[in-house]
Amino acid sequence: MLKKILKGVGIFLLISIIALAAAPFIFKDKIKALVLKSINENVDAEVSFADVDLSLLRNFPNASVNIADLSIINKAPFKGDTLFYAGDLNVKMSIKELFKGENEAMNLESFSSSNALVNLIINKDGIGNYDIALKTNEEDTKEDSESQPFNLNIQNYEINNLRMVYFDEGSNMKLALDSLNHNGTGNFAEQKLDLDTHTNTKLSFDMDGTNYMRNVALSLDAVLGIDLDNMKFEFKDNKALINQLPLEFDGFLQMVEDGQLYKLTFGTPDSDFKNFLGLVPEAYSGDISKVKTSGEFKVSGKVDGKLTETTIPKFNIELASKNASFQYPDLPKSVKNIVIDTHIVNETGNMKDIYVDLNQLSFAIDQDVFNAKANIKNLTENALVDAKLNGVINLANVTKAYPVQLDQPLSGVLKADVATKFDMKSVENSQYQNIQNSGNISLTGFNYEGPELAKPFKINNTSITFNPNQIKLNDFDAVTGSSDIKVSGGLDNFYGFLFKNQTLKGNFDLASNKLIVSDFMAPTTTTDETTGTTTTEAVKIPAFLDCTLSAKANTVVYDNLNLKNVSGNLAIKDEAITLSNLKMDIFGGNIGLTGTVSTKENTPKFNMDLGLNSVNIAESFTQVDMLKSIAPIANTINGKLNSTIKLSGNLTNDMTPDLKTISGDLFGQLLSTSVNTENSKLLSSLASNVQFIDVSKLNLDDVKASLTFKDGKVALKPMNLKYQDINMTVDGTHGFDQSMNYNVTFDVPAKYLGTEVNNLISKLSASDQQKIESVPVTANLTGSFTSPSVKTDLKQATTNLASQLVQMQKEKLINQGTGALSNLLGGNKDASSNSATSDSTKTETKEDVKTTVKEKASDAINSLFKKKKSE
């Protein structure tokens, strides 16, 4: 019997398990249809989700519905904006709810979401993107309420990792809650209930482009008394933390017809000064439980009134401390005589009437006392600021009194005695006449080093004077690495830079005894955490600078160059430097430079015009890689050069020219020059192939050269040279890789072409010798500058000239023979008496004479050149 019972129970359990496993497939389409119906009947937006999944086993005996990747996308006027997204949305209900009829609403008992985003926007017209409920009349609303597919019978809910952003375009105000985790337990089936909630999140707040709070940790554990009939929420047992500052609330908020009604008071549960340290994020304040404190600090406030479209509740928040001090157990210094008296107030309910009174903030470290006070009004429209700072801070004592985590310790003494009064619109519009400043700030003995700097930076002394319409930098004396700089000048919009992220404008004078460029310029390195690879980014010209600089330096070291007596003007704007009238002494002469350097794009670029005046050729074209690539042969020339160079291209990450990308042209004039063939395999090879000139004795004085270069190729326009009475023309191309293809054309007088040619010329008459022109000889230079190949047509030119001279000798002898015979025959006038005989004899005689002349001419030429007739 027992066996039968057990068998029956087993079969029942098996059937039940199969039914539970199969049910999702049976009810899935029904649930999906109900979800779609619920959304479509209530929302005027584009809604999508990946899938709806039903499980009866996950929370048995309850059913679980999971909606994956649910998103709600706005329509106009916020078309395309995401209002809501949830990676997972889970709903729990009783299994019996699945068996309800088509027109019966399902009761939902709990829900949860994870990895959700809520993006709330109010545009400049005051329209909110969250107003997506379908507009219906009263009758439709009544019918819809009777046919809702779901009823809320919530007992608990949970939200994990929610990010909510609220942005008001009209006031340019942004509030963000990040990493929000919240859960609540209560019976929403009742009209009055106590809801037990637990919340933690991080708060950030920006207004008008200025950040006031960033990732402030908030937590609240509270029991809220909820009256759903009157939509009233009362704070009962509760405890909140702002960072580590404890607060308790009393009172209520209520949803009313035209907004929300607030009647709240709050304050710290005790007045220990540790409460003040609790305001500071724990990462910066350390373990405050071990800090020794004296005195008190309290926060108190009240909020009373309505939040509507036109008003806010009145409020008064007070932060106060008297005669307080604190000392961390592991630090040698204490901060004492702390006084804080601050009020944040709105007395009218109008947003624009919020004001902040910092009546006093003062403290002392050792004998150094610092005081500050400020008043800020009209925050939301045109903030009016009236502030004063006075006191001394020894920066080295900051880390000795407070656990600030710094990569490098601070040092130096800051002294301030400043008063300022201004409004933000004047700052924005650069109306400096409305800004009232007075006083001065000085800093001495300040040392700093960090990854953004190439070398540690030490400010020996700097002082700033605040005038009514300008901040004047009286002096700035600093060193970094082996460089020293002194700067003075004026800042025109310091407040715009400080409060409104505007560019920093100013005009400065800079002087330096020695300035090494590499001391200031350190490329930024970044490491990919996934691959571990390190990349180097190019040096960037700060985007926030818009200033001019007049500079003088006795010595500037750039790369491997030592520049002397450097002076010029620099204009820095839009991530670019414009150089004008920049002069420097180098290579025994001087260089003038104008142009621009820009780092606005990913790859830095430059565009320069250079004027070289009497610079040493060998030095400049061996020490500067760019010039060496443009004219590698220049290292064989001793002397001076005047030149103009126009060039542009890309810069490498360390701000040196990328030779593969430069293009431009060069025009130069050589002065007082000589050639050293020992420095060049090319010239040595040329000298051995063309022996009628001595390359080392070339006359290069006043020679002019014109080059163009692009894509790693240099083209030399025809350049004329002269060696004694030999004219030369050089042209061709070479590459930055040292490959070359040049032609040298020599206009060679015949006398330089050897003894044989000279012997032939000597046989000519004086008038014929004058007819002998110079002979063109071409040398083709290929290969590379380090492994050249030189070919000439000298042999062919010599052979052609010899043939020309032989022909001239032939013609001379033929003319001489023909004339002599004519005289001989013309002298026998009587031979004409016998006409028949004479004619016959005359004809035969002419033929014989021609033969005889040719033979004699041939013999004479053969005898002259001592060669065989065949030759």
171 Cβ partners below 8 Å, 6+ apart?
A: 207, 208, 351, 380
Per-residue pLDDT, averaged over 446-453, amounts to 74
Q: Give the pLDDT confidence score for residue 263 in this predicted structure.
A: 95
Which range among 64-73, 222-231, 371-380, 611-620 shows the weakest confidence by mean pLDDT? 64-73
Q: How far is CA 751 from CA 483, 577, 757, 797, in A?
A: 64, 60, 7, 13
Split at pLDDT 50, 70, 90, the class of 866 is: very low
Q: Give the pLDDT confidence score for residue 221 in this predicted structure.
A: 93
Per-residue pLDDT, averaged over 420-426, amounts to 86
667 Cβ partners below 8 Å, 6+ apart?
A: 643, 644, 645, 704, 705, 706, 707
Q: How far is CA 540 from CA 524, 536, 574, 598, 684, in A?
A: 9, 12, 11, 9, 47
Measured CA to CA, the distance from residue 474 to residue 476 in angstroms comes to: 7
In the predicted structure, residue 693 carries a pLDDT above the cut 70:
yes
Split at pLDDT 50, 70, 90, the class of 832 is: very low
Per-residue pLDDT, averaged over 359-372, amounts to 94
Q: Give the pLDDT confidence score for residue 620 in this predicted structure.
A: 84
Which range among 34-43, 174-183, 757-766, 833-842 shows the weakest confidence by mean pLDDT? 833-842
In the predicted structure, residue 560 carries a pLDDT above the cut 70:
yes
In the predicted structure, residue 4 carries a pLDDT above the cut 70:
no
In the predicted structure, residue 136 carries a pLDDT above the cut 60:
no
Other CB atoms closer than 10 Å to residue 118's CB: what's the count? 18
User: For the CA atoms of 242, 248, 250, 256, what is the dihedral angle to 10 degrees?
Assistant: 20
Share of the chain above pLDDT 90, in %: 27
Query: Can you read off the two tokens belonging to residue 257?
Result: 């017809």
In the predicted structure, residue 51 carries a pLDDT above the cut 90:
no
657 Cβ partners below 8 Å, 6+ apart?
A: 606, 625, 626, 647, 649, 650, 651
Of the ranges 52-61, 263-272, 421-430, the best mean pLDDT one: 263-272
Residue 53 or residue 472, greater confidence: 472
Q: Give residue-wise pLDDT tens across range 336-353.
A: 999 999 999 999 999 889
Measured CA to CA, the distance from residue 74 to residue 77 in angstroms comes to: 8
Which of 85, 60, 173 has its CA nearest to residue 123? Answer: 173
Q: Which residue has the tokens 């029942």?
A: 12
Q: Helix (H, G, I), strand (E, B), or coil: what is residue 822? A: helix
Which range among 140-154, 471-485, 615-629, 665-679 shows the weakest confidence by mean pLDDT? 140-154
Of the ranges 274-283, 638-647, 858-867, the best mean pLDDT one: 638-647
Query: Can you read off the two tokens belonging to residue 681?
Result: 């395999």
Which of 726, 727, 733, 731 has its CA nearest to residue 744? Answer: 731
The chain-wide mean pLDDT, for the chain, equals 79
Measured CA to CA, the distance from residue 85 to residue 808 in angstroms comes to: 103
Say if residues 251 and 233 touch (Cβ distance below 8 Å). Answer: no
In the predicted structure, residue 443 carries a pLDDT above the cut 50:
yes
Measured CA to CA, the distance from residue 68 to residue 89 in angstroms comes to: 6
Q: Give the pLDDT confidence score for residue 845 in this predicted structure.
A: 46
Which of 253, 304, 499 has its CA nearest to residue 382? Answer: 499
Q: Give residue-wise pLDDT tens across range 65-102.
A: 777 888 888 888 888 888 888 888 887 776 655 555 55
In the predicted structure, residue 636 carries a pLDDT above the cut 60:
yes
Which range among 308-317, 426-435, 540-549 shows the weakest confidence by mean pLDDT? 426-435
- HSE value, Cβ hemisphere, 13 Å, CA-based, for 814: 10
In the predicted structure, residue 251 carries a pLDDT above the cut 50:
yes
Per-residue pLDDT, averaged over 38-59, amounts to 68
Q: Give residue-wise pLDDT tens across range 489-526.
A: 988 777 777 767 778 888 999 999 998 888 877 665 66
Q: Give the pLDDT confidence score for residue 448 in this predicted structure.
A: 77
Query: Can you read off the two tokens belonging to residue 100?
Result: 């309800």
Q: Give the pLDDT confidence score for residue 327 in this predicted structure.
A: 92
Residue 379 dihedral angles phi and psi, to the nearest 5°: -60, -40
Q: Give the pLDDT confidence score for residue 801 in this predicted structure.
A: 73
Residue 470 or residue 623, greater confidence: 623
Of the ranges 346-350, 752-756, 772-776, 832-836, the best mean pLDDT one: 346-350
Q: Give the pLDDT confidence score for residue 773 in this predicted structure.
A: 67
Q: Give the pLDDT confidence score for residue 699 in this predicted structure.
A: 76
Which of 632, 735, 755, 625 has its CA nearest to residue 683? Answer: 632
Split at pLDDT 50, 70, 90, the class of 862 is: very low
Which range among 210-219, 311-320, 542-551, 593-602 shows the weakest confidence by mean pLDDT? 210-219
Which range among 104-118, 170-184, 264-278, 377-391 shows the weakest confidence by mean pLDDT? 104-118
For 628-670, give the secondary structure using H, E and C: HHHCHHHHHEEEEEEEEEEEEEEECCCCCECHHHCEEEEEEEE
pTM for this one?
0.61
In the predicted structure, residue 552 carries a pLDDT above the cut 80:
yes
Q: Give the pLDDT confidence score for residue 426 in this predicted structure.
A: 82
Residue 35 or residue 454, greater confidence: 454
Q: Helix (H, G, I), strand (E, B), or coil: what is residue 799? A: helix
For 216-242, give the secondary structure using H, E and C: EEEEEEEEEEEECCCCEEEEEEEEEEE
Per-residue pLDDT, averaged over 537-564, amounts to 85
In the predicted structure, residue 799 carries a pLDDT above the cut 80:
no
Q: Give the pLDDT confidence score for residue 16 in this predicted structure.
A: 37
Split at pLDDT 50, 70, 90, the class of 191 is: confident
Which range among 98-112, 428-442, 647-661, 714-728 shows the weakest confidence by mean pLDDT? 98-112
Q: Give the pLDDT confidence score for residue 452 in this predicted structure.
A: 62
In the predicted structure, residue 137 carries a pLDDT above the cut 50:
yes
Share of the chain above pLDDT 70, in %: 77
Q: Give the pLDDT confidence score for residue 388 in this predicted structure.
A: 94
Q: Give the pLDDT confidence score for residue 96 in this predicted structure.
A: 58
Split at pLDDT 50, 70, 90, the class of 382 is: confident
Residue 477 or residue 677, greater confidence: 477
Split at pLDDT 50, 70, 90, the class of 765 is: low
In the predicted structure, residue 323 carries a pLDDT above the cut 60:
yes
Q: Which residue has the tokens 């002065």?
A: 671
Q: Give the pLDDT confidence score for residue 223 in this predicted structure.
A: 92
Which range among 146-150, 286-290, 712-716 shows the weakest confidence by mean pLDDT? 146-150
Q: Give the pLDDT confidence score for residue 553 in this predicted structure.
A: 93
Q: Give the pLDDT confidence score for residue 859 in this predicted structure.
A: 47
- Rounded to 10 deg, the angle between the 755-762 and 794-826 helix axes is 20
